[in-house]
Amino acid sequence: MDFRDLATLGAEPTPRHLGQFIVQYLESHGPSKRGDFINAAETEWRAVSGRRLSVNLTSAVKKALSDLTKQDIVRPSGVHGIWVLTRDQHETGADDRDMELPGGDGSDAPQADCGDPGSLTVVVEKELGVGSHLVYSFYLDTYRVAAEAKSENRWPIKIGMTTGQLDKRMETHRTALPEVPRIPLVIRHENAALLERVVYGALMLRGRGLDGVVGSEWFLTTPEEIEEIYRSVAG
């Protein structure tokens, strides 16, 4: 549940919600200070609710960082006051977000196990393309159901990329989310970073950018629209 949902319900962010916010912030901005999280959360909350938080935001962010550290999702970078995701390309300087991912044959597959034995199995509803890198999408059923209840045909979907193991990447996301996400579409490509930017650009030109959410990876769209954009640029 994001800040906008909480504001609609008349509730305020708890450390768990702030933890989700911090993870999204780090994914979008890279290594950051605790003060950055506090300022961004306050700004985001005012934007979606029109009011100040009544909770002690500094204490709540400290608690959120403590919880995320215990879950091995974030950690101090080694530079005083700077926090990073435990698996962070900004820290390593690599182009990828995980380890190298085996290539695929590009066929539709109901399930993809991209990790080592004993790792989490990621259920992918549809897979397209050929390549060793991935552009993936996921959403929460809560968002889809809420959209359908309002007779809306689009809902918030996050689009990301990895040149590593999808199950490892999703493990990081899932720990910070209130429910298990669905992965409707994965696209294999040799230049996932470029493909990701192309998809982002097409969605932004269509006005699908999601207002009120920090970061540039969430869009009001559908898996079918993402696939249509891919097919239109890939021929």
Same-domain status, 205 and 133: yes
pLDDT at 147 over 50: yes
Is 97 among the domain residues? Answer: no
Is 84 among the domain residues? Answer: yes
Last residue of a domain, one of 43, 73, 92: 92
pTM passes above 0.85: no
User: Contact, 24 vs 214, CB < 8 A?
Assistant: yes
Q: Which two tokens stand for residue 78?
A: 């080694």
Same-domain status, 81 and 137: no
Last residue of a domain, one of 76, 92, 108: 92
- Give the residue-averaged pLDDT of 27-51: 86
Same-domain status, 79 and 132: no
Task: List pLDDT tens digits, range 93-122.
Answer: 333 333 222 233 333 333 333 333 334 457
Domain total for the chain? Answer: 2
Q: What's the pLDDT at 185? A: 95
Q: What's the pLDDT at 121? A: 58
Is 151 among the domain residues? Answer: yes
Same-domain status, 138 and 223: yes
Task: List pLDDT tens digits, range 40-77.
Answer: 899 888 888 888 888 899 999 999 999 898 888 888 87
Is 119 among the domain residues? Answer: no
Is 191 among the domain residues? Answer: yes
Same-domain status, 225 and 132: yes
Closest CA to 87 of 169, 174, 19, 175: 169
CATH number of the domain residue 33 falls in = 1.10.10.10
- Give the residue-averaged pLDDT of 83-89: 69
Structural domain span for residue 79: 3-92
Is 110 among the domain residues? Answer: no
Neighbour tally for 205: CB within 10 Å: 9
Is 116 among the domain residues? Answer: no
Last residue of a domain, one of 67, 92, 117: 92
User: Contact, 160 vs 217, CB < 8 A?
Assistant: yes
Is 114 among the domain residues? Answer: no
